[in-house]
Amino acid sequence: MLNISSNKISDKVNQTSYSSLEKVESRKSGKWVKRLITIFFLLILISMFLPWTQNIRSKGEVTALKPEHRPQSIQSIIAGRIEKWFVMEGDYVKKGDTIMFVSEIKDEYFDPDLLDRTRAQLNAKEQAVGSYREKVKALDNRIAALLETNQLKLQQARNKAQQAKLKVESDSMDYQAAIINYEIAEEQYARILGLYEEGLKSLTDLENRRLSMRKEEAEMISAQNKLLTSQNEVINAEVELSSIQAQYRDAVAKAESDKYTTLTGLYESEAEITKLENQYTNYSVRQGMYYITAPTNGYITQAIQSGIGETLKEGDQIVSIMPADYQLAVEMYVRPLDLPLLQKGQDVRIQFDGWPAIVFSGWPEQSYGTYGGEIFAIDRFITKNGRYRVLVAPDPEEAQWPEALRLGAGTSNMVLLKNVPVWYELWRNINGFPPDFYAPAKENNTDKK
């Protein structure tokens, strides 16, 4: 069998005659490699226990913090035709500056004297209302006069009825007296008749007594007739009293009916006045809308409508304007998985597109070129892209954001969470676990007594 251990080149070749081979055989680099590898692994092991700041990475863009500071478009409130432009794209305008003049395209507003004619109609209706009010006053006076006359007539009729009743009582007493006189005369005639039959009285006496009895009978019948006449007058007085009441009740009812008819016309005229006033105000406001003005201080960014003579509809966009004064913010979108880890006031590190930066994900303190922010608002509903929108405002305790920033610029954002060891972060990422739930400590600013 071949002995491999004895098959060495050093046994057959003299190494001293070859300097290169002697240097290679005598090298000690293997020891240094072992030391370097050992040191490298020791450094890795030590770095596993270094602190690592967990974070949530997200893309976003620069926006304005308040809605009224974001880019907006100016719409035409009325339909019209473009007649003249007063601005160009890129111009700075102040609030109330005229941007465009439009003319009317609806035929119901073509009349140049529309306001004057509407005012004339309004004045005529106001005069009609005044006439109605005067008529109502006249009818009120008439009703008051009728009621007063009615009271006087009723009092007069009541007095007359009272007089008739008193006359009935007087005639009734006269009638009772006439009956008594007739009865006395009848008894006297009967006694005289007895005496005449006995021959004690003459025929002349008998006839005189009979004549007296007939007179008393006639007076009794006359008193009875007067009594019946007085009773009839009482009935007539009561009928007249009822007639007066009915007559004046009808007169007052008719006057009140005329009054309510007049009030109906008055209320209709007042409603028409209100309608005309509303119409007049609308016409006046509409004429002021022919000049489209800037709602705020800002810059004209784009003319959506152009040319002269083009027609606009209500609500058509004319130009877009960017407010001059605004407070910057960043809107970023996070996954639903990361949403429970976010809270208002949480720190965020932001890298703006176009600004150089050196970013260490786990060591934000060692990064350069990033800017500080804090979570200002978190949406409560998901967007169409399946993520939640988070609004980040500048951190007042950090350096100010660059002045050259413009709305719409892209950003890379890191929401800072809990500090953990590096080995734990590696283990978490290998297993696909989310970052730890972390609630930032709130500073207690309450003054102690």
Q: How do residues 13-69 score in pLDDT, each as one tens digit?
A: 666 666 666 666 555 556 677 788 888 888 888 878 778 777 788 899 999 988 888
What's the helix, strand, coil split of the chain in %, to 5? 50, 20, 30
The stretches in the chain having pLDDT less than 50 are 1-2, 444-449
| Token pair listed for 150 | 């009615």
At 383, list the tokens.
């967007």
pLDDT for 23: 63
What residues contact 363, with CB distance under 8 A and at least 6 apart? 52, 53
User: What residue ranges in 165-239 does DSSP mark as E strands?
Assistant: none
374: helix, strand or coil: strand
**Model pLDDT for residues 260-300, shown as the tens digit of each residue:** 998 998 899 899 999 999 988 988 888 888 899 998 899 99
Q: What is the pLDDT of residue 67?
A: 86
Between CA 303 and CA 88 the distance in angstroms is 8
Rg (CA), the chain: 60
CB contact set of 133 (below 8 Å; sequence gap of 6+): 266
Q: In this structure, which amino acid lies at residue 346?
A: Q
* Eight-state DSSP code of residue 15: G
Question: CB of 276 within 8 A of CB of 265?
Answer: no
- Least Cα distance to 82 among 306, 263, 274 occurs for 306
Give pLDDT, residue 5.
Answer: 52
CA 293 to chain centre: 26
Residue found under tokens 């035409």: 76
SS (H, E, C) 354-383: CCCCECCCCCHHHCECCEEEEEEEECCCCC
pTM above 0.85, yes or no: no
Gap between the Cα atoms of 137 and 146, Å rounded: 14
CA–CA gap between residue 217 and residue 222 (Å, rounded):
9
